[in-house]
Structure 1
Amino acid sequence: MKKFICALTFALIYQFGFAQSTVLDKEKLLEFYQTQRYADAAQYLQSIYPADTKDVKALSQMAYCNMMAGKLPDAEKSYLTINEIQPNTLPVLFNLANINSRRGNDLKAKSYLENIVKLDSTNFNAVKQLAGLIKDSLQLKIAYLKKANSLNTADADVATDLAQGYRDLQQWALGYQVLKVAIAADTSNLFLLQAQLPFANELKKYKEVIYVGEKLLKDGADANVVKDVGKAYYYLKNYEKCISYYQMLEKVDKQTEMTLYMMTLSYRELKNLDMATTYAKKTIEEGISPNTSTYYNLLAGLQESNGKLTTAASSYKRGLTFSENSSIYYRLGLLYDLKLKQVKNAFTYYNLYLASKPDAKVEKDQIDYVTGRLADLKSLTK
């Protein structure tokens, strides 16, 4: 690698420095390259060449050094000047696309890449980079990825991204085939093998999923691989194996609603109704957001503000079915007390609020109010 860098450095110096050999200190420039002091190299070159130079070789060298030093505006300025002198040079267009992409200007980057594709419709790298810049149109992204894939079926990144696009469209057979071709070119690529598992599962190639998945797991337990292998065992009706794999995920707290659900079904098929019941409850808990009661509290508050008092009370109570929430108890107490004039219910929810042990520092005013109000309600009911 060092020999390659050294050779590249000499080549750059020869290419860009020969015309100015009378003033350019090649040894000094070589030292900057070898020590990767690109900012110093750029500053040195700028001290040699005039600011308005039209020497393409000099501009290229300064642009390269500035880009390597991370001085992207300076690098772009030099490349734009070169593009004016020698329009539509592919390396220059690529560098301008790269600079704009690194600076977050995707529109400009796409413009340069599209220009490259117009000049060379079979330019794989340009098409691949274009696909990577498409964020708002799945169809367009897939179109570019298909083009890139047709130019190089062995590229793992393109194959994986294209397969993901097909997965989003539920086109499992197409995604599977793209990955299959890429895997044939690189049979040891673990990323490709793993990416193909969900496609194989959807296509009911369960034995293949198990064979490939268990080989992958020898190199380390990956949660996604475990999910795919467990799923394949379930559909092959090997419920014990399905459970054993998904228990691996539970041990490292990587279970999901889907894995718990399949464990529930597996225990049911094994006639172990107690465990099936346990996992059915776990599935429900996993599927419920810990913030659900808070969301119902918000909804009920809006309904209450809109004068829909009975509906608000129902929403508050619905929130309590997901988790205890002291704020909901407090709001229900106020609703029944001040608006619905149902003293018994108000008394109940005020007491539940205090029993929920709200933070004495944060909710001191509410606690004091409820305590005093309970005393008032007691005197009213006597």
Structure 2
Amino acid sequence: MMRKGICLCIILFGFNSFTAQSAKIDTEKLLEYYETQRYADAAKYLQSIYPGDTQDIKALSQIAYCNMMAGKLPEAEKNYLKINIIQPNSLATLFSLASINSRRGNVTNAKTYLQQIIQLDSLNFNAYKQLATYADTPETKLNYLKKANFLNSTDPDVAYDLSLTYSGLKQYQPAYDVLKTAIASDPENFTLQQALLPVANQLTKYPEVIEIGEKLLKNHADVNVMNDMGQAYFYVKDYQKCISLYKMLEDMGVQNEGTLYFMALSYRELKDYNNAALYAQKTIDEAISDHTTLYYAALAGIYEAKNQYNDAVTAYKRGLTFGMSNIIYYRLGLLYDLNLKQPKNAATYYKMYLKNQPDQEKEKDQIAYAKGRIPVLK
């Protein structure tokens, strides 16, 4: 509400300026447009009062703002560009141009305007914060966020993004420090506290993870919090609590390779070897993608193209360890038949291909070829 009140004060101030310049402005009508958020109507009304070639900065600013709020971005940009020519180096204008280009997906222009702002004001927090979103590399993003964080270490958005960037670069201590500073100024910020958990785990601050996690779970049973807490409980050797948390995740259907692995280890430490073996197998199953055989088939095909036939055989056979595959059986038959000249192995894989019931319609040519080659190879 305070922000809305400030905006209305600014608008009213603009109305007074207009009235001083022209008696044609109906301030009550314009104010009604603003209050009802009819920005397109407000823009049309102002454009009906002022000529298209007006050089009045305040008029152009109002028209540009109304068009921007109405989503008429090309019109808004046109007016802001006029202002930038008449009155260059205005931070407000440059920010508006950056925002418009950002909304239109023109990253290059948005970055250019933000960099102009930094040249004019090297301590502009918002410019650094926005530039970080357009960074081409993690290192560049880190530099922008570090500058923004230096200017305002309590901003939660910057602290959050900076900690994630540090973590992505495996710089866990600075990630932790940034979050702790921001949390100190806002102890009830659950988002920052949740972001702290995986970082604290990396730094082996397991009791802290458990303490914060318990508080967060009272607010919301978030699966990421439970995941981080489970690890912490494992490392402080409270294996039963680790299992309990991860069993909840499994019941919710959001288990993963990591949670199943820690369950297997926890059961092992509790000497419950039956469950330990069960969850070790679940871990292996979770780690294997349904598409692994296809990935190995693709790798083998690359080796074939390079005439590295023995490597191709190894890759194809490795793919078969993750499950049966008609593609691999057939490709191995061709490889042994045409390239390695091993008729016995070729016939074996052609037979395996046919035995695995390939699609009679989609693979009729391959089926016919395999059936035709087997008696020849014998």
TM-score by length of 2: 0.91
Greater CA drift, 45-54 or 263-272: 263-272
Summarize the alignment of residues 21-170 of structure 1 with structure 2, pairs less than 5 Å apart.
Answer: 21-136=22-137, 138-170=138-170
Match of 1:227 in 2: 227
CA deviation vs aligned residue, 1:147-195 (integer Å, no higher than 9, x gap): 2222222210011111112212322222212111211111111101101
CA deviation vs aligned residue, 1:260-318 (integer Å, no higher than 9, x gap): 22222222222223322222222233333322211221222233344443432232211
Match of 1:188 in 2: 188
Distance in 2 of aligned mates of 1:303 and 1:173:
43
Greater CA drift, 103-112 or 171-180: 103-112
Question: Aligned in 2, Cα 1:286/1:16: closer, same or farther, shift over 3 Å?
Answer: farther
Does structure 1 conserve the Cα–Cα contact (< 8 Å) formed by 2:14 and 2:58?
no
Greater CA drift, 307-316 or 69-78: 307-316
Matched, 1:324 2:360: no
Question: Aligned in 2, Cα 1:294/1:112: closer, same or farther, shift over 3 Å?
Answer: same
Does structure 1 conserve the Cα–Cα contact (< 8 Å) formed by 2:149 and 2:155?
yes
Match of 1:278 in 2: 278
Partner secondary structure for residue 136 of structure 2: coil
Distance in 2 of aligned mates of 1:339 and 1:112:
60
Distance in 2 of aligned mates of 1:308 and 1:183:
57
Does structure 2 conserve the Cα–Cα contact (< 8 Å) formed by 1:128 and 1:148?
yes
Distance in 1 of aligned mates of 2:51 and 2:339:
82
Q: Which amino acid aligns with 2:223?
A: A
Matched, 1:296 2:268: no
Q: Which amino acid aligns with 2:116?
A: N
Distance in 2 of aligned mates of 1:229 and 1:129:
33
Question: Aligned in 2, Cα 1:269/1:121: closer, same or farther, shift over 3 Å?
Answer: same
Unpaired runs of 5+ in structure 2?
Answer: none
Greater CA drift, 148-157 or 192-201: 148-157
Q: Which amino acid aligns with 1:283?
A: T
CA deviation vs aligned residue, 1:84-139 (integer Å, no higher than 9, x gap): 22222221121122112222233332332233233333332222222233232x33
Distance in 2 of aligned mates of 1:182 and 1:302:
50
Does structure 2 conserve the Cα–Cα contact (< 8 Å) formed by 1:9 and 1:33?
no
Percent sequence identity is 59
Distance in 1 of aligned mates of 2:30 and 2:114:
32
Q: Which amino acid aligns with 1:60?
A: S
Q: Aligned Cα RMSD in Å?
A: 2.4
Does structure 2 conserve the Cα–Cα contact (< 8 Å) formed by 1:149 and 1:155?
yes
Question: Aligned in 2, Cα 1:305/1:156: closer, same or farther, shift over 3 Å?
Answer: closer
Partner secondary structure for residue 218 of structure 1: helix
Does structure 2 conserve the Cα–Cα contact (< 8 Å) formed by 1:15 and 1:57?
no
Number of residues paired by the alignment?
Answer: 377
Partner secondary structure for residue 30 of structure 1: helix
Question: Aligned in 2, Cα 1:243/1:320: closer, same or farther, shift over 3 Å?
Answer: same
Return the offset for 1:56.
0.7
Unpaired runs of 5+ in structure 1?
Answer: none
Distance in 2 of aligned mates of 1:311 and 1:192:
49
Greater CA drift, 177-186 or 58-67: 177-186
Partner secondary structure for residue 245 of structure 1: helix
Distance in 2 of aligned mates of 1:12 and 1:368:
85
Question: Aligned in 2, Cα 1:206/1:6: closer, same or farther, shift over 3 Å?
Answer: closer
Partner secondary structure for residue 133 of structure 2: helix
Distance in 2 of aligned mates of 1:111 and 1:308:
50
Distance in 2 of aligned mates of 1:51 and 1:170:
55
Question: Aligned in 2, Cα 1:117/1:346: closer, same or farther, shift over 3 Å?
Answer: closer
